[in-house]
Amino acid sequence: MKDVKPYKIIIEWRGEEDFYFICDYDRSDVEKIGNNLPISKAGTFPLMAQAMGNVLRKLRKEHISFPLFLVALAFNHRNLLHEIDQLLNLLHLHLEKEQVPGTFSCHISS
């Protein structure tokens, strides 16, 4: 796993809050091109999905209750960090099993 170098992370929203987390990795500096790859894992991370849904709404310039979002984030930051840690652990477990360059993808739902 030492030689693995993630070179691209894609976040693709599907619906209001659900999204795909995709990380392309390689064992060299050569960039690979590929879309429509199968999903490696699926996970339920409600706080992460809600936070990313708010980011999407902000990017689309839709109204969000920003102060309420910050208060919710402040109260839930420990759980949100735990969910991010779980996602990264899924990525690392996947990388330990892989022998060739490829893609890790995970569907994140609320």
- Across the range 8-34, mean pLDDT stands at 72
pLDDT at site 34: 45
Residue 18 has pLDDT above 70, yes or no: yes
Q: How many domains does the chain have?
A: 1
pLDDT at site 24: 85
Helices 46-59 + 66-97 axis angle, to 10: 120
Output the pTM of the full model.
0.59
- Across the range 80-93, mean pLDDT stands at 86
Confidence of residue 63 (pLDDT cuts 50, 70, 90): low
Name the residue range of residue 24's domain.
Answer: 5-109
Report which of 63, 62, 59, 48 is spatially closest to residue 17, judged by C-alpha positions.
Answer: 48
